[in-house]
A and B are shown apart, each in its own frame.
Chain A
Amino acid sequence: MNDNDVLILIYSILTLGGLGLVSSVILYFVAQKFKVYEDPLVNEINETLPQANCGGCGYAGCNNFAEACVKSANEHKSISGFFCPVGGNDLMKQVAEILSFTVEDQKPMIAVVRCNGSHTNVPAKSHYEGISKCLFANNLFAGEGACPNGCLGLGDCVVSCAFDAITINTETGLPEVTDACVACGACVKACPRAIIELRPKGPKGKRIYVSCVNTEKGAVAAKNCSVSCIGCQKCFKECPHGAIEMKNNLAYIDGEKCKLCRKCVEVCPKASILEINFAPRKPKVTTVENNC
């Protein structure tokens, strides 16, 4: 090794070492300058959250939710109103534990598509060509079936779902929600026609709802769709629990009040009330007798 080589060695060490030293000093001061105080609880809560960042809780992401929880706990001494639909009650118990609160259980919810306007129930009257985006088609026209409130079937809800819980059934052209649904509400926001609603999942998944959101007069609605609610009020009169309300020619079943007696389903002349996950009915004649 001659002198020259040694010099190169020393220079390299000095330059690199010096560079490292200067950078670390700069980094230190930058870190000091931009330091943000964060409650360690936020981090703790955040770690329990599912990290789906779906926005179902009403916040942009899981970390925002954790921050809001801690803030509310500090300021209002309560975290009521905060709910992570993905984690459900178990998770909220954990969160409450961290913040030393208790929370009440919330009923599990699921997204429900309130339209049964399949290709057979609503024959197409025109043919749409264009991008597969409900929002666009909604601004363009009433839809191929000409129902101004019905499902366009272009799948904005499918795209919005972060849990792959909605698919479009190619036969009916309608979205179907699977049990993977965590009721985050993304599809509810995505649907330009407010067809999708979050409803109580019901015991063993049993639920009854009016599968129509058409507010037109009965005759007009029936012209386009064989299963539309025509606002005949039969279910409204039949319901023993007062769970059905009529508004704008449309029946709506309050999921909280509904006792799943299935009476409304029987009287609906248009079969627009759907019952999900019930045992198949016995033949109609016997049912009537039993009920009498």
Chain B
Amino acid sequence: MNQLVISGSPHINGSESVKKIMYTVVIAMIPALLVSIYFFGFQVLRVLAVSVIACVLFEWLIQKFIIKGPLTVNDGSAVVSGMLLAFNISSTVPTLMVIAGAFVTIAVAKMSFGGLGKNPFNPALVGRVFMLISFPVEMTSWPKPVPIFKSELIDALTGPTPLAVVKEGLDSGLTIDQILASGSVPSVFEALIGNTSGALGEISAMALLLGGIFMVIRKVIDWQIPVTIFVTVYVFAGIFHWIDPAYYMTPEFHLISGGLVLGAVFMATDMVTSPMSMSGKIVFAVGIGLITIIIRMWGAYPEGISFAILIMNAFVPLINKAFKPKRFGVVKK
């Protein structure tokens, strides 16, 4: 008989694995991707393919030639980062810029901290913010949504995101009613299905929520984080809208426009960069909601969710220290 294996208990493992989690996220992104292709055409696939391939390639190169450790590139985390980066940028961004963004995402934001699980900030968001600062023009020109079967007009039209429309309008002294009257702000229904300008993955709140529900069912994310962000945004934006409806947009608009749903469902819930305990997650989510609205209302950028998530990422170690799970049989003194 062979030698018996000796190891500490437990002797069985569950079916959960890193790979499974990562590919669940990939599957959850597919509905939003389909909507994006429908409205922005096949340029979406170019950006997505470039981003994913570049991310995977950079990770592989770094692991192979710089770290010289085990190759774990097939765990799917680079694919997820690449897809999320693509979801956060416009489908008109040139290929080389996407590659530059992918480099920052993987090399700077992920591998320089030690790879998967060690990065304090969400890699895709770091890549996105890097691109936003480096290539402000390309990163803020958004294609107008054109259903794919009317694609003769593609590439021709670009337009601002609804959030930018509102911001510019308010800055030039218009009231909310005047901005809405101009017709360049989509209705709630249009924003839900995705018939609006924006980054390629953020346009359809409905498709993103669908993916989110899938991830909640598969226990990849906790529903508490997105829901808390939505509630915080709704309440905070609602208070200001109630105080002065002429200057502040409706809370519904804040909920479904821009990257809020994408950020809340896919970016803020990133396991690596979110707190460990449930109470910590709630605090984290409230912080994201507040900072997002503060940036949107009074900041220089029309959209604030990326910055909000990155700022709260920085607080995660502190939150983990301060918000512990309730210990069994331990009464706080």
Contacts and interface: CB of A to CB of B under 8 A. Distances in A.
B29 to A, nearest CB: 36
A130 B5 CA distance: 10
Interface stretch (A121-129, A163-171, A279-287): A121-129
Contacts of A140: 6-8
A129 B5 CA distance: 7
Contacts of A125: 3
Contacts of B5: 126-129
A136 B7 CA distance: 10
A136 B9 CA distance: 12
A126 B3 contact: yes
Interface in A108-132: 124-130
Nearest to A128: B6
Interface centre among B3, B4, B6, B8 (most CB of A within 10 A): B6
The DSSP consensus for interface residues of chain A is loop
A125 B1 CA distance: 11
A130 B3 contact: no
A126 B4 CA distance: 5
A1 to B, nearest CB: 31
A141 interface: yes
A130 B6 CA distance: 8
A141 to B, nearest CB: 5
Contacts of B8: 130, 136, 140
A152 B5 CA distance: 15
A176 to B, nearest CB: 25
B7 to A, nearest CB: 4
Interface string B12-34: 00000000000000000000000
A160 B4 CA distance: 30
Contacts of A124: 3
Interface string A122-150: 00111111100000100011001000000
B12 to A, nearest CB: 14
Nearest to B3: A127
A130 B7 CA distance: 6
A136 B6 CA distance: 12
Nearest to A124: B3
Contacts of B6: 126-130, 140-141, 144
Contacts of B7: 128-130, 140
A140 B4 CA distance: 14
Interface residues of A, number: 11
Interface string B93-111: 0000000000000000000
A141 B7 CA distance: 9
B3 to A, nearest CB: 5
Contacts of A144: 3, 6
Nearest to A130: B7
Contacts of B4: 126-127
Nearest to B2: A127
A129 B6 CA distance: 6
A124 B2 CA distance: 11
Interface in B196-224: none
Nearest to A140: B8
A95 B16 CA distance: 60
Nearest to A139: B8
Interface centre among B4, B5, B7 (most CB of A within 10 A): B7
Contacts of B3: 124-127, 144
Nearest to A141: B6
A140 B11 CA distance: 14
B8 to A, nearest CB: 5
Interface in B295-331: none
A144 B4 CA distance: 10
Nearest to B9: A140
B57 to A, nearest CB: 33
Contacts of A127: 3-6
A128 B4 CA distance: 9
A124 B4 CA distance: 10
A282 B254 CA distance: 92
B331 to A, nearest CB: 31
Interface string B239-259: 000000000000000000000
A135 to B, nearest CB: 12
Contacts of A126: 3-6
A144 B6 CA distance: 9
Contacts of A136: 8
A144 B8 CA distance: 14
A136 B5 CA distance: 16
A291 B7 CA distance: 52
B25 to A, nearest CB: 30
Interface string A68-90: 00000000000000000000000
A130 B8 CA distance: 7
A128 B7 CA distance: 6
A251 to B, nearest CB: 31
A127 B3 CA distance: 6
B73 to A, nearest CB: 25
Nearest to A136: B8
Nearest to A143: B6
B13 to A, nearest CB: 13
22 contacts: A125-B3, A126-B3, A126-B4, A126-B5, A126-B6, A127-B3, A127-B4, A127-B5, A127-B6, A128-B5, A128-B6, A129-B5, A129-B6, A129-B7, A130-B6, A130-B7, A130-B8, A140-B6, A140-B7, A140-B8, A141-B6, A144-B6
Interface of A: 124-130, 136, 140-141, 144
Given A129-B7, A144-B6, 6 more contacts: A126-B5, A127-B6, A128-B5, A129-B5, A130-B8, A140-B6
Question: Which 6 A-B residue pairs are closest in the complex by CB-CB distance?
Answer: A129-B7, A127-B3, A130-B7, A126-B4, A126-B6, A127-B5
